[in-house]
Amino acid sequence: MTDTRIKLTAKNVERLAREELEGDVWDTDIGGFHIRSGKRGLTFRLHYRTKIGKRRMMTLGGYSTLTAQQARIKAVEALAIVAQGGDPRAVLEENKVKAQQLQQQTLGVYLEGPYTAYQRRKKGGQATLNRIRNAFADWLDRPMSSFTHADAERWQSAQECLKPAKAGSNKPIKARAFSTMKRDFGALHTLLAHATERKVIPSHPLNGIKLQKPALTEQELAGAGVERRYLEPEEVQALFLGLELYQEEKRKQRRSSRAHGKAYLPDLDKVAYVDHVKPWILFMYYTGFRPGDIAGLRWEHINLPFKTVRKTIEKTAHHHPEPQTFPLSSSVVEVLTAWHLQQGKPKTGLVFPNPITGKRFDRTAMQKPWAKVRAFAKLPSGLVLYTLRHNFASQLVMAGADLLAVSKLMAHSDIQTTIQHYAHLRPDHTRDIVEAFASITSKERQLINGTPSTVQSSGYAP
């Protein structure tokens, strides 16, 4: 059978396969579309002429992988490209090259290349890069477009399991907290979004996929709601005492050093603050600022006469780069004024510079000083520095402050954050209502039980 013309339908092609076709069979409807028999079986093909009149042939696919209908659709699509002046075979070859490049675009290559350049321009960018490298070390050699929902589930499952102990240690590595896994997965998700936006990969492979939050353990249920706590009045007194004891300890150490051959050291008995620790902690206590914003606070941000701070909030700077204005209480203005005077009344520069380098403190720099103050104050060891921020918001809400105002003072990007964590502290009339209900119920019980007061008031004899 040579150069036969029939409509290449599923039924006809199936018959041709049974008859062991020899030569080509051309379709009667689609010009150039035909099927050929070869060593690998039946193959759908298409002959066409390019815009400049050059005859070309392209293989659409084998009968074992394409149905007749699928082959017809591919032929029509190819001829549509020809009609627009294009060359479908060139398009096919270009797509193959793109597919090969896509397979070569691994997570590791993109992470160390374009994404490193992007993250270096951001505060905390290096930490983000390290987070992805460490959390997804097994994924670095894989093409980004190959990640699936199943991969995410397997990754989470592996993170939740105890891992074997390191060499020389008897303790297994603890399973990672869900909050940590969520940050890791979020960092990867953002990288993939970055690659998608720049057309490096055709689509976000993990778009819409979220980690499944595990059920709370008994211990977690018991501690739920405790992590965002505020300071009790006696703890506030203890905190201020702890700050004074910290300062006195530093002064005592300095007096000893000056008395034993180091008289050149400054006399700490003559200054308001022995170092940055007390004014830093007091600033956080009175403003609720995040530690990062305090570390980046500059004298240019502060207007002492007007009692304000105007600063871009670092945590949300990528979404809201515009500076925000915050009022300062008289108490914190007093602290800043004394510290400003002690620092030589600078007009510019960091408010709390590292005394050794003059540069910004590292994000963990206050951990050890806080531990010392906490020990002097005899506060619980689990009381973190960030509690001062929660205390600021909590005390405002309990004092009746409007939640929107508190949200602005806390620099929350969404008031829902304020509502979620602090709304339960609002004073309201619900307690008065339930007390009124209990009072009504109590009177009704007296009537039913026939108490002496009820009998007398009703006129009945005993």
CATH number of the structural domain spanning residue 374: 1.10.443.10
SS3 458: helix
> Which pLDDT does position 219 carry in this prediction?
52
User: Is 174 part of a structural domain of the chain?
Assistant: yes
| CB atoms inside a 10 Å sphere around CB 229 | 16
Average pLDDT over residues 450-462: 44
**Model pLDDT for residues 337-381, shown as the tens digit of each residue:** 999 999 999 999 999 999 999 999 988 899 999 999 999 999 998
- pLDDT mean over 65-78: 92
Q: In Å, how far from its chain's centre is CA 159?
A: 18
Q: Do 265 and 257 touch, CB atoms closer than 8 A?
A: yes
289 in the same domain as 354: yes
Which pLDDT belongs to residue 455?
39
Mean pLDDT of the chain: 86
| pLDDT at res. 169 | 59
9 and 56 housed in the same domain? yes
pLDDT digits (tens, 9 = 90+) for 291-333: 999 999 999 999 999 999 999 999 888 778 899 999 999 999 9
Q: Are residues 315 and 329 in the same domain?
A: yes
* C-alpha to C-alpha distance for 439 and 37, rounded to whole angstroms: 95
Name 170's Cβ contacts closer than 8 Å, sequence gap at least 6. Answer: none
Judged by DSSP in three states, 345 sits in: coil
Same domain, 270 and 413: yes
pLDDT classification of 102: cutoffs 50, 70, 90: low
- Please indicate, yes or no, whether residues 288 and 199 belong to a single structural domain of this protein: no
130 and 79 assigned to the same domain: no
Kindly list the distances between the CA atom of residue 196 and the CA atoms of 189, 192, 457, in Å, as whole numbers in the listed order: 11, 6, 81
Are residues 352 and 265 located together in one domain of the fold? yes
Q: Report the alpha-carbon distance of residue 67 to residue 71 in Å, rounded.
A: 6
Quote the crossing angle between the two packed helices 387-398 and 415-422, to the nearest 10°: 80
Domain for residue 226, yes or no?
no
The per-residue pLDDT for 44 is: 94
The sign of the CA dihedral 142, 143, 144, 145 is: negative
Helix spans in 105-165 (H): 107-112, 114-119, 125-135, 149-160
Residue 449 buriedness (CB in 10 A; 0-12 / 13-18 / 19+) = exposed
Give 462's pLDDT tier (boundaries 50, 70, 90): very low
Angle at 257 between CA 253 and CA 259, to 5 degrees: 115
455 and 308 both lie in a single domain: no
Is residue 223 included in any domain, yes or no?
A: no
224 found inside a domain: no
How many distinct structural domains can be found in the chain? Answer: 4
Domain that holds residue 62: 4-104
